[in-house]
Structures are given as C-alpha cells and as structure tokens.
Structure 1
Amino acid sequence: MGSEVSTGAVRKTRGRTERRQAILDGAFTVFARRGYAQACVQEIAKESGVAKPTVYSHLDDKESLYREAVGAAADRIGTQDLAVVEELREAARDGDPRAPLTAVARGLLRSFGSEDARAVRQLTSAQAVQFPDLATSVRERTALRLRSALADRLARLALTGRLRPCDPELAAEHFLSLLTGPLAYRPDADPDTVADSAVDVFLRAYGQ
C-alpha cells in the first residue's frame, strides 16, 4: 500500500514538473516570436498545450513567465557552452592544442548563433530597462559562466606547457572576443572561417 501511494506521489510530482517545463518552453517560444509586450498568457497556454488556468497555477503572471522562461533558456545555453569547452580537457594531456581549440571555437560559434541564443540576447536587450536584474542574471548564467570555465581549461593548458604562462581569465576574454568580434562587423561571415582565424590569432599571442 505504501509503495502504491509513494509511486502515485512520484507520478504526480513528475507530471507537475513536466507541465511546468512545457509552460516555460511554450512561454519562451511566444516571447521570442512576439516580444514581451505583445505576448499574452492565452497564447502561451495554447503553445504549451495546457489550459490558461494551468499556466497561472505554476506561475503567477506574465512577468514571472518571462523571467522564468528566459532564465531557463539561458541555463540551457550556458550548459551547452560548458559541454563544448569540456573538449579542452583532453588537450591538456595531448600535444598541439590547435585542433581542440578549433573544435571548441567552432562549437561555441554554433551555440552563439543558435535560434535560442539569439532570442535570449534579443529579449534581454529589449527589456533591459524594465528587467535589469534579469539581464544581469542571464549574463552570469551564460557569458560569465562560460568565461570562468574556459579560463580554467586555458590555465590547465598553460600549466602543462601547451600555452604560455598567462592570466587565464584575460586569455579567455581574448579568445571569446576573437570569436564574437568579427560577427559584429560581418554577420554573414562563415563561422568556421571565423573560428579558424580566431584560433590562429590566439595561438600567435598565447601559443608556445
């Protein structure tokens, strides 16, 4: 009997968690499509496949939906970026770091250029005055989190002699700037070409 009750509780919790995730996914889709001002809870409910009262049973209002949906998307993007950077783990034990750095550069550019990443940047920028704390939170979950992880990997490469001794956080900033900077001037540039060029310049500055 106890096992049946426990199983039922788990299913109920799981069901609520899955509905909440569906609502956050639906909300992010609608906000990305409409922007904050034009989005409505009824459309979010339809996109999420739930009734409007169900949306309100999970999140109180449109502002809460916006904050939670954008924050959850930022977490997903940040996690994807960290997974890309993990490719440098093996490079600390191997020889020339060019190949793993190039793989990371290409992977990060794919992530930066994804539909979700672009939407998060647009939404946080458009509502930065209304939600300055959210813009700060998104920056911490994505850019700063990525810089910290990349700095850790670059520090390990320097310790094993694959890179010159350096300030790893500054090196991480330089690496990321070499990736994102060209796209501000040439948004249609080939990402792989940008990545290859960025690694070449980075290794001229930091390589042994």
Structure 2
Amino acid sequence: MDLPGRWQALPHGYDGPVTATTRGRIDKRQAILDAAFTVFTRRGYAAAGMQEIADEAGVAKPTLYNHLGDKETVFRRAMEAAADTVRAENTAIVERLRAPGEDLRAALEDVAHRMLLVCCGERAGALRRLTLAQAGEFPELVVAVHERTAIRLSDALADRLARLSLDGTLRRCEPALAAEQLLALLTGPMEARSRLGTRDVPPDQTRAIARAAVTTFLAAYGPRAADTGNPGRPGHVPSTP
C-alpha cells in the first residue's frame, strides 16, 4: 500500500515505532529532501552546495548533516524520495482500474493520459535528467530510480490487468507482458514527440498518444466482440446484471 508523501521519508533502514517526536523528525527530513531535490534540479549535483540546500530547507547547515550526512548521501536520498513520489502518483492513478466501470476504453484512456501527465511533469522530468547526468558517478542510482519508478509502476499495472483478465474484462493474458507493452505504447511516442524530454508536448498530442496506445492495446487484449455482445464498440464492457 502506498503511504502519504511524508511517510515515505522514513530514515533509511528505520523500522521503529512512529511517535510524535519521530513524526516531527520525519516531516523535517522530508522537507530537507524536497529542498535538496529542488537545489540539485536547479544547480546540478556538482554545483549544488550544502549551505544552499540548508537555506532552501530553512534549517541550519549542521541540521542537514545530522539528518542525512554528506552531500553524496543527501543526493542519493533526495533522488530516492523523488522517485518514490513519482511512483506513488502513478500507482494511485492505476488504482482507477480497480473499478473501471462499464466503459473499459474510457477508463484505460483516462489512466493512460494521467500517467503521461505525471511522466511529463516537472518532478519526473527533473528526476530523469539528474539520473542520466550523474549516471557515470552514481551508476547504482540509475538502477534504484528505475526500480522505484518504472518497475513498480509496471508491477502495479500488471496486478490490475491480471484482475481484469481473470474476471473476463480483458482476454486471458500474461499480465506482466501486457503491462510492459501498454507502457511501451505510451512512452515510445512520448519520447519521440518530446525529443527525449527536452520540449513540451501539447495537451492534444498527449491525449492522442493515450488514445492511440489504448486502441492498439485493446486490439490485442480487449474482449472479443462476441464476448461483449456489442461489436460496434470494442473495449466496451457491459455492466453485470
């Protein structure tokens, strides 16, 4: 289960009780991580300084060191926290498929479009740029960010698709593969039109990408016309009496 943003900032390896004192420390830690990510986004890793991060967070520099340690650790934890936020936003969107309603196509298009908006958002874009820029110095961070974002999202989507397949809303399929293919249908065109994230994609094009991806996805995984009883609307699933 995804937790609210402030609970995602538990100190690395912490498994103790969450008291009022601990909660305050967690909130301060999250504020520091948010501030650090802002500074790293604005300045880049090399140019960012601990004093600037402390100023952005509104804390004393010693407080920054007490909570997170050195600059390298601050960077790692800030990137992980940003990745967790992006993941939480996307997995919350995927939950829409828990009860898609009568019109499966509309539900999938809504989910696809909203996921694209998150992926094109300021936080996700900055996360990607920083990860790639520092890949040489922090190669393991590339793996960590990928696991916390793309892999977790794919797993969450696969879980939803598995349930839709089991109840007959979708054809029988391999959920992990279906999720991977739907995400590829979304990210491929978005990468091309955004020039690898270097320019904005107009809203009408974002919606068009989502619509085209769902059309292709349903051609492979949608219920057969004979099963839906409505050959004129592939992807429309009648309500259960």
TM-score (norm 1): 0.90
Taking the aligned partners of 2:22 and 2:219, their CA distance within structure 1 comes to 54
DSSP-derived class of the 1:184 partner: helix
Which runs of structure 2 are paired with 1:1-208 in the superposition (5 Å)? 10-91=19-100, 94-187=101-194, 188-189=201-202, 190-208=205-223
Give how far 1:142 is off.
0.7
Q: Which amino acid aligns with 1:82?
A: T
Q: Which amino acid aligns with 1:34?
A: R
Give how far 1:64 is off.
0.5
Taking the aligned partners of 2:77 and 2:179, their CA distance within structure 1 comes to 29
- Gapped regions of structure 2 (runs ≥ 5): 1-18, 195-200, 224-241
Q: Which amino acid aligns with 2:210?
A: A
Q: Which amino acid aligns with 1:202?
A: F
TM-score (norm 2): 0.78
Q: Which amino acid aligns with 1:183?
A: M
Q: Is the 8 A contact 1:96 1:162 kept in 2?
A: no
Give how far 1:15 is off.
3.1
Taking the aligned partners of 2:182 and 2:190, their CA distance within structure 1 comes to 14
Give how far 1:193 is off.
1.3
Give how far 1:16 is off.
2.4
- Gapped regions of structure 1 (runs ≥ 5): 1-9
Give how far 1:110 is off.
0.9
Identity across the alignment (%): 55
Q: From the two aligned structures, give the one with the greater helix fraction.
A: 1
After superposition, the Cα gap between the structure-2 partners of 1:161 and 1:11, relative to the gap in structure 1 and judged at 3 Å, is: closer
Give how far 1:156 is off.
1.2
Give how far 1:95 is off.
3.5
Moved over 6 A (4+): none
DSSP-derived class of the 1:128 partner: coil
DSSP-derived class of the 2:79 partner: helix
